[in-house]
A and B are shown apart, each in its own frame.
Chain A
Amino acid sequence: MVKQFAQWLSTTSPSVFIQNHNSWVIPAIQSIHIVGIGVVLGSVFMIYLRILGWAGLDQTLRQTTTRFSPWLTGGLWLMLVTGLLMVIGEPVRELVTFSFWLKMLLVAIITAIGTIFQISLRKHEQLWEDILVTRRSIRGVAILTFLIWVGIIILGRLIAYDHIWGPWSPATKA
């Protein structure tokens, strides 16, 4: 069904436009997407370093999230827009892959975790600042969730190489 949708999408006029100009439109969109990755990863990285106590200790955790949240949100919107444009431009190459859907699953998981963290920090600010950031378990969770970001970025690039998943990849089925 996804394959049929992708094939239909590739016949729509926005998709045909991108396909007809793909020599520069696709690389341009991908480059903006990578700039977005830089903004997003840089922002979350700084928040993680603050939680782990490895950087930014002259700032509170709340100050750190306030500093980076707008950039994180802006970067994520940029990624969503450029990501959608890539799907529209190359629907089959994007959607008929294992990497893309695993990446989307991880994006959903990290969005949930990020939202829970933001709400929890707002509700229990003092608890986070004084106690939680010093807890080993919280640091462990922080490192684990950072690895989800790492996975998302790696899977994004692997969309171009979906054959590495062998039988898991729908692209290898003719």
Chain B
Amino acid sequence: MGSLVAGNEGLMPLDINGLLKYLEATGLATKIRDSLFLFPLIESTHVLGLALVFGTIAIIDLRLLGIASTERSFQRMASDILKWTWGAFALTAVTGALMFITNASVYYHNFFFRTKMVLLVLTGINMLCFELTAGRTIHGWDRAPSAPRAGKAVAVLSLTLWIGIICVGRMIGFTTTRAAAAPPPPAGVSFDDFLK
């Protein structure tokens, strides 16, 4: 009953279990849990957003690596594309947060959820590394077919991290209980029946 003990320290500013329980009990979380279609719709929108995030970031990374769009100005591409990336990222953050609050304590303690958060932080640090290295000399290589070595390293890391985020993200769904409103699978879909 570790959470109960922590719950007794409700006035402490860092009572994480209390916060998780509070999030789960909010009207919004309850509404999503009780609805038959809200969680599925939120999850679908999350996939839509992350596809755009990954797809648009990959275009930028491939440009840095000199694999595609090599004849275009990097700055021009970045200003064309990255605003959409950020918009899509905001969509995934909002839908992700909405899914999180429906079952906060389970997600919080889930290994894949935690790994995903760490990987997301790493993509942020990776972006910062770009700004501090190749990002400072863009005017020098803006029209070159590829970025300097540091920029290429950032691009490889970015692609790797985002594919990793997609994989661990999918694993979260397989290792946590779904929103409470989701009914058990209908009769006749158990493979064990066919295998017997």
Contact = CB atoms under 8 A, between A and B. Distances in A.
Given A153-B48, A157-B47, A164-B37, A174 B186 contact: yes
Describe A's contact surface by its main secondary structure: helix
A33 to B, nearest CB: 9
B68 A19 contact: no
Contacts of A58: 72-73, 76
Given A93-B189, A153-B44, A157-B43, A7 B84 contact: no
Complex A-B, nearest 7 residue pairs according to Cβ-Cβ distance, in ascending order: A42-B55, A38-B54, A161-B40, A55-B80, A154-B44, A157-B44, A38-B55
A41 B170 contact: no
- Central interface residue in A7, A23, A35, A58, by most chain B CB within 10 Å: A35
Interface residues of B, number: 43
A7 B193 CA distance: 10
B59 A46 contact: yes
Interface in A131-174: 150, 153-158, 160-161, 163-164, 171-174
Interface in B66-81: 68-69, 72-73, 76, 80-81
B47 A156 contact: yes
A16 B195 contact: yes
